[in-house]
Amino acid sequence: MLDIITVPTPSLRKRSKEIDHNFLVLEETQQFIDDMVTTMYEDDGIGLAAPQVAQNIRICVIGKEAIPKKHHIKGDLILVNPTWERISKKTLWDIEGCLSVPRIFGKVKRYKEIEIKAWDRNGKPLSFEANDFLARVIQHEVDHLDGVLFIDKARDLYEVERKDSRL
């Protein structure tokens, strides 16, 4: 499992670098992607971006629970060098949290419908539309790749107590 870095670590505020196909297909990079997925699930996340595990490269992973069946994606979604554009002007406010900002939550406005372009973990181009929760998760993770945290956009921030009695 990888260590998740938290605020105020300066690298969380840096824009991540795009990666090329040769770097992507390296065994070490593929193992890193697998380790990101494991870390996301171990820490009860629904998404994880590489900067959150101290790698400022443009890779993020999204758990299969966030992906509607209509997308016909089996397993977790791996996005390499992702970009998105809004499809409509409609936005929604909802509560967000982040593994890199422990115990803090707040309301964030995100676009309801977006179009995503990226590579999959093998460098194959992806292009699809996402809405509602999946669109929110993708926007949150791509923000990480741009050095932006949800707390930069949130309002009505609040803190919750730790549930883990071992701490």
| Residues in binding site for Fe cation | 98, 140, 144
What is the distance of C-alpha 27 from the center of its chain?
22
The three-point CA angle 135-136-138 to 5° equals: 65
Strand order in the sheet with 91-98: 91-98, 101-111, 155-159
Binding site: residue ranges?
98, 140, 144
List the one residue out of 82, 91, 105 whose CA is nearest residue 161.
105
From the list 28, 113, 141, 159, the catalytic residue is 141
Q: Is 141 a catalytic residue?
A: yes
Name every residue whose Cβ is closer than 8 Å to that of residue 30 and which is 6 or more positions away in sequence. Answer: 121
Q: Which residue has the tokens 């670098």?
A: 17
Nearest residue to 140 (alpha-carbon basis) of 88, 87, 84? 84
22 C-beta neighbours (distance < 10 Å), count: 9
* Vertex 153: Cα angle to 57 and 160 (nearest 5): 95
Q: Which residues are catalytic?
A: 141
